[in-house]
Structures are given as structure tokens and as C-alpha cells.
Structure 1
Amino acid sequence: MTKAATTPQEAFWSGEFGDEYTVRNDGAHWIASNAALFSRVLNSAGPVKSAIEFGANRGLNLQALRLLSPKMEIAGVEINDKAVAELKKLPGIEVHHKSVFDYVPEKKYELSLIKGVLIHINPDRLADVYRVLYKSSSRYVCIAEYYNPSPVTIPYRGHTDVLFKRDFAGEMMKLYPDLRIRDYGFVYHGDPNFPQDDITWFLLEKAQS
């Protein structure tokens, strides 16, 4: 079981709204679109043997990674009970049922990943998430989120203070100067084949000794 939520945003996503999101975001078309996005990420990174996702929900991103790299060691961290139940149905995925704030990196993965999650994190706690992303990675960090050059708060499905846009990758690189951009891209919601929700992705690489 997860600990009690530490922020209003955690309570929001671990509760009924998070349950509804898990049910709403299902379908093979999502996996196909995610596979198209991550094929670009992995093409830039080269062979990746292991990955961990923070805020994995029901595993649509992890399933896409599995399609692209069947032998990849995969783990997911997720706070919502309903999403974790779906995630545990997927074979070969190590599931951590907890908040990203409670996750203690005990091993490193070649790739740490977060997609569509930082936008819902309390801005006062972003540095904590950046730290977990950084410490969980031996080489790459992938951030795929809504981008805005300056911080803004956006109403979301009738709710306030649950969606925030900013330059997440830029902030993380300022905190960890050894990170550099390996690649980046954008996926338009109107893409005729593999749409995403206007996602900007960044593949960051740690300096290698």
C-alpha cells in the first residue's frame, strides 16, 4: 500500500480522478503512438538494456518499450491503486506501488523515464522528482511533457492547480550540469498516424567517465 499523499496533487491522482484516468487511457492505439515516440528516443540512445518509468499508470509506455526491445529489463513506479492492478497484469515488469517521493533508488537503470507526469507535480516538489530521475539513471533520462519557456498553471478538466507547464528539462540540466541534450522532439496532437498530446520530449545523457 502507498503512504498518505503528501501534496494535493498526489491526493488527486491517487484517488477517484486517477482511477478515471486509468480507465479512460486504454487501447492499442496508445501503445502504437508511444512506440513511435520511443523508437525515436531509442534510435538516438542506442541499445538500452534497462529502464524505469515514474508514474507508469497502466503501463502503456512500458508496453511500447517492451515491443521495441523485448529483452529490456523494465520497472514502473505508480501511486494509483487501480493503475497498479493493471500494471501487475503485464508480464516481466517490476512494479513499485508507491509515490515517486517515497521511491528510494537502490539500483540504476540505463534509462529513467517520465512522461505526462511532471506537469501534475506540485512545483515545490519538482526538485525531489528530478533527484529521483537522476539517481535512478546510469546514463539516460527521458522527459516527455508539455513545454513552456516559463512556468504557467493551466485549468485541467474543470480542476485548478493540477496541471503546470514549464521547461522541465532545462530546470533539471541546471540542477545537474553533467547532463546534456542527446536529442529532443515534438509530437503533434494532429499527427495523422501516431498522435500524442502535443508532447515535447528530451533525451538527456549523463557525462560518461
Structure 2
Amino acid sequence: MTPSTSSCCKAAVPATPQLAAWTGEFGDDYIRRHEAADWKLTYGVEAFRRMVGGLALESVLEVGSNIGLNLWFLRELFGPRLRLFAVEPNRTAYERLLADNDLFHLSGHVLDHKAFPFDVFRDLLNVHPPPPIKTT
């Protein structure tokens, strides 16, 4: 399946210090620390099997997908019938996600959530906050 995409990082989203951190060096460093590796697949799939394995999911939206590890685990668990949607503002991660032909829709910042109903919404933006923002 060819992903339906919108352009990365060009949506009318208010600039915030957090968004600047995630779209800059902090976000790129995060990608390097969380690379995909085959050994992670078994553990990731088992974790999601315990969380949502008993559900009849048809679609998942992940906001803050990074390079798509969680979507990879979900794809392995549920197979090709699961429609995957991703929102990722970091250009490097976004470009990696573009290479994943399993994605149904990919956006740099926004997704028309009214056009697509989702069974699961996953947002990791608050799990990994960037370093404290210095104010003057």
C-alpha cells in the first residue's frame, strides 16, 4: 500500500519551544538512541499483545511516531489488515516513516481526524519531554 502523505513540517501549527526541540537536535538525537533493531521486535510485539492483543483493531493513529517502532510492532501483531496512521514533526523521522509502505496516512503535523475514525489513539509526546526550556 502506498502511503497517503502530506508535506512535513509545513502545517499552520503554532511554534513552541517543545516543537523546536523535537524538530531540532534533541529530536535527531532521540532517533539515534532509539534505532530499529530486529531483537526489539519480539519484545515490542509481546508488549502490545498484552496491551491490545485481544482487541479487534482496524486502525491506529500514533502522534509522535518517531521512526515508527510502535507501528512496526502493531503491524507484526495484527498483520496487513491494520491501517496505520502517523503524525511526526521531526523531518529526519518523517523521512524514515515515508519509506514505510505500510502506512496509510502520514503527516508532518496534522491529520484530518474527522475524515478517518480510529480504533486506537497513541500519543507519546508527553512521555519523553525535551529538556527544560530556559526562559529569560
How high is the TM-score relative to the length of structure 2? 0.77
Alignment match, 1:117:
125
Amino acid at match of 2:92: K
The structure-2 alpha-carbon separation of the partners of 1:11 and 1:19, relative to structure 1 and needing over 3 Å to count, comes to: same
- C-alpha separation in 1, matches of 2:42 and 2:90: 24
Structure 2 unaligned runs (5+)?
A: 1-7
User: Which of 71, 78, 83 matches 1:69?
Assistant: 78
- C-alpha separation in 1, matches of 2:60 and 2:51: 12
Amino acid at match of 2:21: F
The structure-2 alpha-carbon separation of the partners of 1:14 and 1:5, relative to structure 1 and needing over 3 Å to count, comes to: farther
User: Which of 160, 163, 172 matches 2:132?
Assistant: 160
- C-alpha separation in 2, matches of 1:36 and 1:62: 13
Amino acid at match of 1:38: F
C-alpha contact (below 8 Å) 1:88/1:95 kept by paired residues = no
C-alpha contact (below 8 Å) 2:21/2:27 kept by paired residues = yes
- Alpha-carbon distance, 1:5 to partner: 5.6
User: Which of 84, 88, 102 matches 1:78?
Assistant: 88
- Alpha-carbon distance, 1:95 to partner: 4.0
Task: Output the aligned Cα RMSD.
Answer: 2.3
- The structure whose residues are more often strand, as a share, is 1
Alignment match, 1:173:
none
Alignment match, 1:169:
none
Amino acid at match of 1:118: N
Structure 1 unaligned runs (5+)?
A: 122-155, 162-209
- C-alpha separation in 2, matches of 1:42 and 1:68: 10
User: Which of 19, 35, 38 matches 1:10?
Assistant: 19
Q: Provide the secondary structure at the position in 1 that maps to 2:119.
A: strand
2:98 paired with 1:88: yes
- C-alpha separation in 1, matches of 2:33 and 2:9: 22
Alignment match, 1:170:
none
- Alpha-carbon distance, 1:120 to partner: 4.6
Q: Provide the secondary structure at the position in 1 that maps to 2:18.
A: helix
Once the two structures are superposed, the pairs formed by residues 22-61 of structure 1 within 5 Å of their partners are 22-26=31-35, 27-44=37-54, 46-61=55-70
- C-alpha separation in 1, matches of 2:32 and 2:105: 19
Amino acid at match of 2:69: L
C-alpha contact (below 8 Å) 1:5/1:11 kept by paired residues = no
- Alpha-carbon distance, 1:59 to partner: 0.6
How high is the TM-score relative to the length of structure 1? 0.52
Percent identity of the aligned residues? 26
Structure with the greater relative contact order (CA < 8 A, sep ≥ 6): 1 or 2? 2
The structure-2 alpha-carbon separation of the partners of 1:73 and 1:60, relative to structure 1 and needing over 3 Å to count, comes to: same
Alignment match, 2:4:
none
